[in-house]
Amino acid sequence: MTASLFFAGSGDAFGSGGRLQTCMLVQGESFGDFLLDCGSTAMIGFRRFSLDPNAVKNVFITHLHGDHFGGLPFFILDAQLVSKREAPLRIFLPEGGAQTLETTMEVLFPGSFHSKKKFQIELLEMKPGEKYEADGVSVTPFPVLHGALKALALRFECGERILAYSGDTEWVEELVECAVGADLFVAEGYAYGKKIKFHLDIADVEENAGRIGAKNYLLTHLARNTLALSEEERLPYDAAYDGMRVGF
C-alpha cells in the first residue's frame, strides 16, 4: 500500500532559495501520521499548506540543530494553546534530546515545558542499532557524522514500504545499511562537486547508488550554490521543494 511524504519544509538552516527548514510529514493508511524532523519554521509550513498538527502521532528527530529540531517548542505550544490537542504525542530524539528540549522550551517560553497540558507527551531517546515501534511504523537509527552532535540517519518500515533518510551528515558507510533496498531514500543534498565537512555531497550518493539499490532517490536540504546549478549542470536526482508530495 502506497505511503506519501509531504515537505512542509525542504530547506537548509539559512533559508536558501526562500525555503522553509526541514520538516516532513509522512502519511499512509496502514500507520499513524508522523513528522520527520521539525525545523524552527515547522508551524509556518503547517499553516501555509493547511496541514493538521493534531493528526501527527509521532515525531522523529535526526539531530538537535535548530533547523531540524527548533520547531518542537512551537509545535507543542500550538498543540496546547491553539490546536487544543488531546491525543498523546510521542517524540523520538537522539541521545540527550529530552534535556535539550526542556532547556530550549524554558529559554524560549519560560515555564512552558512543565505547564499543564490536556495531552500526554512521551519523550524517547533512540540508540543506534535498536528498533523502535510506533503506531504501525518501525524505525531503526544509524549513527552518522555531523559535527559533535549525536546525529542519526533513520530507516522506517511503514507497512510494506521502506523510507530512509540520511539526516545531515558527511558520507559514512552506515548510510548504505540504512538505505539499502529502500522504496525511497531522502538524502541531504547540501553540496555537489565540493566537499563540505559534516555535510553530504550528492556525488557520494551517486557513487554508492549501486550498493544502496534504493528504488527512488530524492534530495533535500540543498545549499544556495547547489540550488543555483544551471540546466547544463542538472542534479542527478530530483530535489524536494516546499509543498512537494511524493509517494513511496
Residues 6+ apart with CB under 8 A from 46: 8, 52, 53, 78
> Do the domain assignments include residue 58?
yes
Beta carbons of 87 and 119 less than 8 angstroms apart: yes
> Do the domain assignments include residue 248?
no
CA distance 9 to 241: 7
> Do the domain assignments include residue 178?
yes
Residues spanned by the domain of 56: 4-237
125: cell is 531517546
Torsion of CA 242, 54, 125, 243, to 10 degrees: -10
Query: What's the one-letter identity of residue 2?
Result: T
Long-range contact pairs involving 138-142 (C-beta distance under 8 Å, separation at least 24): 139/60, 139/92, 140/178, 141/94, 142/174, 142/175, 142/177, 142/178
Looking at residue 232, its pLDDT comes to 61
DSSP letter string over 137-195?
Answer: EEEEEEE-BSTTS--EEEEEEETTEEEEE--S-B--THHHHHHTT-SEEEEE--BSSS-
Q: What is the pTM of this model?
A: 0.96
> Do the domain assignments include residue 162?
yes
Specify the number of domains making up the chain. 1
> Do the domain assignments include residue 198?
yes
Q: What is the CATH number of the domain that holds 217?
A: 3.60.15.10
How would you write the pLDDT of the chain (248 residues) with one tens digit per residue? 689 999 999 999 999 999 999 999 999 999 999 999 999 999 999 999 999 999 999 999 999 999 999 999 999 999 999 999 999 999 999 999 999 999 999 999 999 999 999 999 999 999 999 999 999 999 999 999 999 889 999 999 999 999 999 999 999 999 999 999 999 999 999 999 888 899 999 999 999 999 999 999 999 999 999 998 855 678 899 999 999 999 99
